[in-house]
Structures are given as C-alpha cells and as structure tokens.
C-alpha cells in the first residue's frame, strides 16, 4: 500500500503575490523585500504577479493584509518587517500584535499570510537575518508563499470531494 502524500512544490509559477513591507527599520527591511522579490522571480513568478505595498510599521501589517485579503485579488501575502527590541516593553506589544493579527487574517480569509517579520534583540541580529550570515528571511518567506500556494491548490476547496 502506498501512502498518499500531498505537499507543495515549486514547479508551478502560479499565483498573485502581495509583499507588504514596513518602512520602520528600512535599512534591513529593504533587504528583506529585495530578497523576497528575487526568490519569487527565480522561481518563475513574473513582475506582473507581484505587488509591493508599504506600511508604516509592523503594527499596521495586519490591517493592511486584511484589506488586501478581502479584495480576493491575491493568492498569498508576504508580510515583511523588523521589530527590534528597545528599552521598554513596547517590543512585546508590536511583535505580538503583528504575529497574532497576521495569523488571524490567514485563518479568516483562508489565504497564506507569511510571517516574514524579524523579531530580534539587536540591530546586529536584524542585519544577520536580512542577507548576511543568517540568510535572508525575506527570501525564505517568499519560498514559503510559493509552496503554500501550490499546496493549497492541490488540496483544493474540498468541494469536489462532496
Ligand atoms: N519599534 C518598532 C515599530 N514601532 C512602530 C509600530 O509598528 C507602529 O507603527 C506604531 O506603534 C504606530 O501604530 N515598528 C516596527 O516595525 N519595528 C520596530 O522596531
Ligand atoms: C519595538 C519597539 O517598539 C522599540 O523599537 C521601541 O523602542 P523603546 O522600547 O526603547 O521605546
């Protein structure tokens, strides 16, 4: 007996991708954005399939992603930002609300919302994760988006099984 396996792949360059990018900490987030775009295009996604939206900070990501998801015009959202801990508990609130809000959008609108928001303790950690020795979380997020679009396409809506 062969076990049925369903998994996303990178063979199909389908889908419409919105990359939602914060202006906060642009010195690293801009590198996340370029990494994400490069990864999408290296996997066959065309310029016409990509839309970039700029928001003030990570706290604004969920609302804008909610509005984008509600349009029905995108197959995946990639949320990119960098929340860098300072001297007060503000980090916890910004990072926590961004993560929770983005997950809520994904579940509410049945759309992949990839969490590409760095949550780090220092600028050095942010730099390491935006294209230097710890990779580029923007590029990684783009690959997650492609895989999820293909996976969910394969799973379907379940209507056909009824
Ligand atoms: N400190 C960081 C912020 N703070 C700003 C908030 O995201 C938000 O724009 C403001 O509270 C107004 O609603 N944002 C980041 O993305 N990264 C930070 O390190
Ligand atoms: C993540 C933040 O909001 C943080 O950068 C703010 O810094 P501080 O906690 O020193 O006000």
pLDDT tens-digit series, residues 39-69: 999 999 999 999 999 999 999 999 999 999 9
Asked if residue 106 has its Cβ within 6 Å of ligand 2, the reply is: no
CATH topology of domain 25-77+84-116+133-150: Rossmann fold (3.40.50)
- Residue to mutate (ligand 2; options 27, 88, 94; most atoms within 8 A of CB): 88
Looking at residue 23, the DSSP 8-state letter turns out to be S
Mean pLDDT for all residues in the chain: 95
Could you tell me if 115 and 81 are in contact, meaning their C-beta atoms sit under 8 angstroms apart? no
CA dist 12 → 46, 106, 156 (Å): 12, 22, 15
Please state the domain extents for the chain: 25-77+84-116+133-150
Q: Does the pLDDT at position 147 exceed 50? A: yes
pLDDT at 159 over 90: no
- DSSP code string of 59-89: GGHHHHHHHHHHHT--SEEEEEEEEE--SST
Would you place residue 76 in the very low, low, confident or very high pLDDT band (cuts 50, 70, 90)? Answer: very high
């Amino acid at each position: 007996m062969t076990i049925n396996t369903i998994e996303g792949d990178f063979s199909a360059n389908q889908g419409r991708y919105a990359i939602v990018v914060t202006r906060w900490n642009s010195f690293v987030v801009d590198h996340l954005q370029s990494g994400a775009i490069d990864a999408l295009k290296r996997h066959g996604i065309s310029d016409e399939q990509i839309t970039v939206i700029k928001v003030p900070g990570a706290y604004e990501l969920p609302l804008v992603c909610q509005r984008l998801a509600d349009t029905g015009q995108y197959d995946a959202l990639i949320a990119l930002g960098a929340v860098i801990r300072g001297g007060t508990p503000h980090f916890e609130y910004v990072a926590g609300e961004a993560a929770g809000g983005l997950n809520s959008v994904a579940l509410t609108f049945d759309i992949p919302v990839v969490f590409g928001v760095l949550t780090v303790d220092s600028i050095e950690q942010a730099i390491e994760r935006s294209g230097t020795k710890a990779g580029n979380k923007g590029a990684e997020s783009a690959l997650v988006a492609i895989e999820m679009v293909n996976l969910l396409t394969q799973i379907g809506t379940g209507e056909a099984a009824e």
